[in-house]
Amino acid sequence: MQLLAAKFNQIATAIETTNAQIAALQAKLSELQEHQQQLQSVEQACQSALSQVDTALMMLHHVDPTEIATFKDALGVKFATDAIGILSPTNTAPAEPIEPEPTAPTAPETSAEPEIEPAIDVEVTETPETPATDAPIVPAPTTTAADIEGLLNKMTIQNIRKLASAKKVSGNGTRAAIAGRLKAIVTQADIWNATA
């Protein structure tokens, strides 16, 4: 038990040290992120100032180009005054890197129970197979002879005689007689075309 207690204390100390290092690194990270945001703000302000200088130069060139030298001198005075020193620069010196203290490696925890992969239930349903045949698939007829004859009988006598003439069939007799001769040789499309 004495050996285990010493090992436990050693690991607890290593955890505390690591947590302290993590806290120090997080503080440094926050500091760097804040500095980055400040730099971005300064960059935007500088870009805006340069844009304003460009605008002022263009306007001055348009209104009185002889005053450009005066404007340039005024900008030079801005950089030469003590106004720049009003704001104290932040400490940009890099902080000393924090290196983690080496700790003794620990053996991975082993479990007495073997790892068991979870079972996945899969339901298998059998679908009946349709026997393969070499016979070609013939589509079902869309209209029957009775349908064709019914359509022919609904046609006017002039249209059915015109269709009979187009199919080289005698157009003499009653509509029913002409329909009887045409029903085997015309399609539904032929009837629609004749009545169109």
Evaluated on CA atoms 122, 128, 134, 139, the torsion sign reads: negative
Residue 93 tokens, joined: 């010196």
* Percentage of the chain lying above the pLDDT 70 cut: 65
How confident is residue 48, by pLDDT bands cut at 50, 70 and 90? very high
Distance CA 161, CA 169 (A): 9
What value does the mean pLDDT take over residues 73-90?
Answer: 68
Q: What is the mean pLDDT of the chain?
A: 78
- Note the pTM of the prediction, 2 decimals: 0.37
Burial class (CB in 10 A: 0-12, 13-18, 19+), 169: middle
What separation in angstroms does the CA of 59 have from each of 51, 54, 55, 64? 12, 9, 6, 8
The three-class DSSP label of residue 180 is helix
pLDDT in tens, 136-152: 555 555 556 668 888 88
Higher pLDDT, 164 or 98: 164
Q: Where are the alpha helices (DSSP H) in the chain?
A: 2-63, 68-80, 145-154, 157-166, 175-182, 188-195
Residue type, 122: V
Distance CA 63, CA 70 (A): 14
Cα 98 from chain centre: 42
Residue 68 tokens, joined: 């450009």
The end-to-end CA distance of the chain, in Å, is: 106
pLDDT in tens, 14-42: 999 999 999 999 999 999 999 999 999 99
Distance CA 169, CA 154 (A): 18
- Looking at residue 13, its pLDDT comes to 94
Note whether 183 and 195 are within 8 A (CB): no
Residue 19 tokens, joined: 């947590």
What value does the mean pLDDT take over residues 104-113?
Answer: 54
> Taking 90 as the threshold, does the pLDDT of residue 90 lie above it?
no
